[in-house]
Structure 1
Amino acid sequence: MDRLILLILASILAGFALVKVPLSGTFLAGLEPITDIIGIVAILIFSLFLIYKGLKGLLGKY
């Protein structure tokens, strides 16, 4: 399997982890909106890139 695809999947999982991390009650509670935004952007960017690579592979333009 392509190592780039595995890296992209790991990045998507990291984005989900950033969105779900509980920061309330810690000294990092003020950074929770920032981590949510970074997580959502990471999920969107890497998911769109994964869809692009999949479509390219399906259409034979690999």
Structure 2
Amino acid sequence: MDRFILLMLASILAGFALLKVPLSGTFLAGLEPITNVIGVLAIVIFSLFLIFKGVMALLGK
């Protein structure tokens, strides 16, 4: 289970990396809004999942 939680944390960090990557001035500049949306979704979804798992662990389920 610990490896699964670490994978979720790594996914959140990857979402932050997608938000911070500088794409201006490259041929990928047109994809910047898409990478921002994917980064925000990754952060939100995986964070909510970790919060859910934490609450379930506190409740003993």
TM-score, structure 2 normalization: 0.97
State the partner residue of 1:29. 29
- 1:1-62, aligned counterparts within 5 Å? 2-61=2-61
Counting matched residue pairs gives 61
Alpha-carbon shift at residue 27 of structure 1 (Å)? 0.6
Could you tell me which runs of 5 or more consecutive residues in structure 1 were left unpaired when the two chains were aligned. Answer: none
- Structure 2 CA distance, aligned partners of 1:2 and 1:54? 13
Runs (4 or more) in structure 1 with deviation over 2 Å come to none
RMSD: 0.9
Q: Could you say what secondary structure the match of 1:22 adopts?
A: coil
Identity over the aligned pairs, expressed in percent?
80
- Structure 2 CA distance, aligned partners of 1:12 and 1:53? 15
TM-score, structure 1 normalization: 0.95
